[in-house]
Structures are given as C-alpha cells and as structure tokens.
Amino acid sequence: MAKFLSMPMLCKSPSRCGFPILLALLGTILPMQAKADPNWNSVSPDTPGPMTGVFSQNGIQSPDAFPVQVPTNGPPIAEPPPVVQAQAAPSNLPTVTTTADLERRIRDLESRLESLPSNTSATPVPELIAPKEEKPIAPPKAPDLGQSLKMEGTWKNALWFENKDKTFRWAVGGVIQYDMSYFNADKNVVNSIGTFNNLVDPGTSLQDGTAFRRARLRFSGTMYEQVEFFAQYEFAQALDLRRRTLGISPVPATSPNNDFDPGDNVGFNELYFGLVKIPVLGNVRFGRHRESLNFVTATQDNFQVWLERGHLFDAFNGDFNFSNGITVQRNYFDNRAYSLFGFFQINNNSNRGFYSVGDGEFAYDGRLTCLPIYNEQEKLWVHLGVDYSYRNLHQDQVRYRVRPMIRSGPGFLTPNILNSGTIFSPDAQQIANLEFAMAWKRFTFAAEATTSWVTNAYTGALPLANGRLPAGAAARGTYNASGAYVEALCFLTPDHRRYRKERPGYDRVIPEETFYFKDTDQGICFSKGAWEVGVRYDYADLTDSGINGGMGNAVTFCCNWYLNPNARVQANYSWMNRQFAPTDTAGRVDGSLQAFGLRFNVDF
C-alpha cells in the first residue's frame, strides 16, 4: 500500500481518480479473502448477494465461475467479457474476514485518498483524440470560361447567339420608325412660331411632312460572362448646314428649304462597354449612353407609348439625352429597388457627337427607384422614383425649350413653341424629378413632375471682369422652370403593360394574340393583336425672373395597335397651347395648334 500511495497522480483531483484505484485494490484484496474463507465466494443461485462471480489466485476473473443458465423460453445469456488482470496486492495488507470489514476498509481508503495533497506537478493526461488539424480554406477559383465557344442562334425579339453556358452572347437588332405628320393652326400663330425660331420665312414653321424618325442598327452582347458591349448607329440623321445657322452672310431672302443642304450622314447615338455583376457596385458602364433622369427617359425608344416623350423631356432632358461618361447601376432586393449614379462630361448640347470638351464641365446624376408592389399573377405593379442632376454649364450657358408633341423632319427643322433663350450663369444647373407609374391588368397610369433652377442667372451676357454688365445684359437672380405630365391608358384587348426591372421603365408589350389575317385552305383566319387607347396632359412653365420663355399646355390622345411584340402602328392627335407674359414681341403671340401623327414601327 505504501508503494501504491507513493505513485504519481495522473490528475489533479484524487476524488476523480479514486474509482479506478479502488478497482485495482479490490483485485488484490478479494483473492486474499478467498484464501481465508474458501466458502466466502460461494453463492447459491437462489441466494441474492453483492457478487455473482469469483476471482482466481492471480486476480483474473474465472469464466467458469459464471455458469450459463439457458431459459426455456428465450435465447441463452451471453458470457460476460473478461476482466483485465489487476496487480497483485502487497503482502502486508490486513486480512478481510467479513463483508462489513471490506466496506469499512473501502471507506477508509476513500477517506485517505481524499486527504492526499494535490500534485500540481503531475504529468497531464494526454489527449485521447488528437485535435484535427485545420487546413486553410482556399479562395474560390474563377470558372474556366470559354470552354465551349460554339454559338447557337435563336429569336428573342432580336437575333441572338449564345454558347451553351451563356457566358458568350451576341445580338443583332435595330428599329425603323416611319412618321407621317399633319398640322393645323391659325396663320398668325404659324407666323409667330416662325419668327420665334428666327426663320427667314416665318410662314413655313409648321409644315406637313413624312420622315424616318429613327432608323437604327445595333450590336450588343456579353463576353466571358461579365464584359458587355453595345453599339447603336443612327441612319436617320442630317446636318444643319443652313447659312443662318452657320453664320454665313448675306443670308438669301428665300425659304429655309432653299437654304438647306440635307447633309445626310450616319453616326452612333449610343456606344459603350461595361462590366456586369460586380460585387457591391453592380453594373459599370463606360462610353456614350443615356442619362436616365426620369421614367419616360429610362423607357427605351422601342417601348414608348407616344410619338414623342413630351414637354417635360424636351425642357429638361432633350439636350443631353445621351452623354459621354460613366454610370454605376445596381438592383436590390430581388430587383425591387434600383440605383443609378452617373458622372458625365457635358455634351455641348449635341446628342450625336462622339466627343465632349470643356474644363470642369461635368454632370453628376442620381436615380433611386423602388417597386413596392409587384404581383405577376394579378398583373399589378407600382413604381416610385426620385432623380437629381447637378450640371456645370457649357461655356456658362443653358437654355430650356419645348417642341410640338408631333414632328416632321429632323430635330433642327422642328420649331420650338416655348424657349427661354440663352441663360448665362457662372453657377450650375440643377434638376430634381419625382416619378410615379403603375399598371393593373388592362390599365396603366403614370405621372412625373420636374423642377430646375439656375442661380446667379443673367440674360444677354455675364458681368465683365470689373463687375459691370455689358449693354443689353441683365441680372435675373435665380431662374426656375418646371414641368409635369399625367397619362392614363387602357387596353381594349385582354393585355397589360409590363415593367422592366433591370432599368426601371415600361417594357415591351407582348400581345396575348398576334395579328394574323390570311386566306387559308380552311378559310380566312383572323386574330386582332393588342389594342390600346390613352390620354395624356403635358405642362411646362419657362417664364420666371423676367425671362419670358412661355407656358405651354398639351392634351394628346393615342390609339396603339400592337400587331406582335415587334411591330406596332401608333396614331396620336394633339392639341397644344402656348402663352406668354407679356406678349411683347411678334414671336410671342398666344395661340394654339393641332397636329395628327401616324407612326409605323418595327423593332428587332
């Protein structure tokens, strides 16, 4: 026992280690008791007792001491597993003669173990299971794109080619819009608009005509999944080579058409490349692309409801519909929210130029929209948005204008019915806009309101370096202009207007049935396509702070026939009115005009 008690402890708490030690002691004490009393371990099968087996002289439990009793109604009882041999007990231990002595001895040993001091320097028990070595997690590897470059073609409202995993996609498309326009107005109104636009013959300001409003060809796609490109070229363009426009003297006293060389040319109106699906940022685009500062501008030309976007667009977005710059766009919450931030070079009032120059002439745009209600089954969606733009002025100049809701000929041959004239300011132009649009089954409703202001505004010229105003110049303080529109539409057929989540705006109308009218072997087959009617009210006020730009109102009715997803015929009738305060010149005469326009549109 002394030798045993002098053994080093394997743990700090003797009470926790006492049980295995007692088992070892019992393995040595019980054989000694068997020597003293041969009958001590004999237990009758019918007699209950604390033990049912015996130990041999060397401390190994004898398997023969456990006779197997086979029940008459069950399987045999398995033999117990062998017990590991215990160490021989020291010869100087006292003899245990009774069960009471054995229990007393066990309690005495437990008490002595509890009183032993803790051996803090003992060797700790080694871990039975070695800790699993943690290997560093390797960063995910980019997929090996371009394994299969075999392209297959299909029709998705344009001619699309893509490989099997859609990491390479390429499309060819375009749009053709052919317009027919007719005007009606009193002669004094026609002459006033002509004088207002500085025409040689004022009586030619509103003329009937036909024109290709748009004739475009585009190429677009993605490569290696995240690089996008878009190139759209405009064939319906003409250069303004009139002598008066070019400043050539003397100007002949003939009609503007005789002083005009068509100067037809081809150029791009949208050309960019970008990176898509970038973490945190979303999509980043570089190049010449649309400044989407309201709902009507963000809606693509192919999906427009009306022949023209209206007064609000003309006054506040028409001069910079496309600009050179960078945009960062992203969708959130399963495309239920959208953000756009843009940095552009001021485009010098040209939508066709491929360059922009000017120190510090930058524009900063922001657009935030959300889709609080969207239910495809009910064909219901509600859109809300807010827009803002801060624009440094090109050569310290800006203007606001409004054109008719129906037009004939290229843009520079379309007269302005409202015009603020050139406003000078060393400060910037600022624009703020609110958006609302919704659709429910056959019905569509939309409204927007815009305000724009320029601080430190002047007419005529800016102050000289000495602070004095040149002759004819005047200080106007802060100039404010505003505009709005409201529209309501209804399909006469069981169709509805879709919503484009990726760039919030109207989406393509896909008729429930496409137009078909043909004599077949079974007779004449006919399906009508989709039909829609609507009304719109436009408002713009460009008169403020002594600048007599005029106030305009317009009511326009439409009837749209969608033959299929890629072809439609549109008819617009518009009544427009303009007012000035005061009617101080021949070019500022109050009056109204009427116009009717037809458009035949195919886009692909």
* pLDDT value, residue 253: 54
Residue stretches of the chain with pLDDT short of 50 = 1-17, 19, 22, 29, 34-36, 38-72, 77, 86, 255-258
- Which residues, 6+ apart, have CB-to-CB distance to 78 below 8 Å? none
Please report whether residue 73 resides in a domain. Answer: no
201 and 312 inside one domain? yes
Which residues on adjacent β-strands are paired with residue 544? Answer: 547
Please report whether residue 137 resides in a domain. Answer: no
203 and 299 inside one domain? yes
Please report whether residue 133 resides in a domain. Answer: no
Residues 222-273 have pLDDT tens digits of: 999 999 999 999 998 776 666 666 666 555 555 444 455 555 677 888 999 9
110 and 156 inside one domain? no
* pLDDT value, residue 83: 53
181 and 43 inside one domain? no
* pLDDT value, residue 322: 87
Q: Would you state the structure tokens that stand for residue 579, as one six-digit string? A: 């007012």
Peptide bond into 582 cis (omega under 30): yes
* pLDDT value, residue 259: 55
321 and 424 inside one domain? yes
Cβ atoms 553, 537 nearer than 8 A: yes
Report the residue count for the chain: 604
* pLDDT value, residue 200: 82
Structural domain boundaries enclosing 51: 2-67+84-115
Please report whether residue 127 resides in a domain. Answer: no
* pLDDT value, residue 12: 45
What H or E segment, with its residue span, contains residue 600?
strand 591-603
101 and 169 inside one domain? no
The helix, strand and coil proportions of the chain, stated in percent and rounded to the nearest 5, come to 15, 40, 45
* pLDDT value, residue 82: 57
* pLDDT value, residue 215: 94
* pLDDT value, residue 59: 44
161 and 104 inside one domain? no
Q: How many domains does the chain have?
A: 2
What are the helix and strand counts (H, E) for the chain?
Answer: 7, 26
* pLDDT value, residue 525: 95
CATH of the domain at 290: 2.40.160.10
* pLDDT value, residue 444: 98
Please report whether residue 309 resides in a domain. Answer: yes
* pLDDT value, residue 62: 44
* pLDDT value, residue 45: 42
* pLDDT value, residue 125: 53
109 and 157 inside one domain? no
320 and 400 inside one domain? yes
Please report whether residue 191 resides in a domain. Answer: yes
162 and 107 inside one domain? no
Neighbours of 250 (CB within 10 A): 6
Q: How far apart are CA 39 and CA 29, in angstroms?
A: 16
Task: Tell me the DSSP string of 308-369.
Answer: S--HHHHHHTGGGSEEEEEEEEEEETTTTEEEEEEEEE--TT-SS-S----TT-EEEEEEEE
Helix axes 14-36, 99-115, angle to 10 degrees: 150
Please report whether residue 77 resides in a domain. Answer: no
29 and 156 inside one domain? no
Q: How far apart are CA 452 and CA 54, in angstroms?
A: 106
Q: Using CA of residue 284, residue 286, residue 289, residue 291, what is the dihedral sign?
A: positive
Q: Would you state the structure tokens that stand for residue 51, as one six-digit string? A: 């033990």
105 and 206 inside one domain? no
* pLDDT value, residue 135: 72
Whole-Å CA distances, 393 to 19, 327, 388, 457: 92, 20, 16, 12
Please report whether residue 291 resides in a domain. Answer: yes
Q: How far apart are CA 580 and CA 89, in angstroms?
A: 123
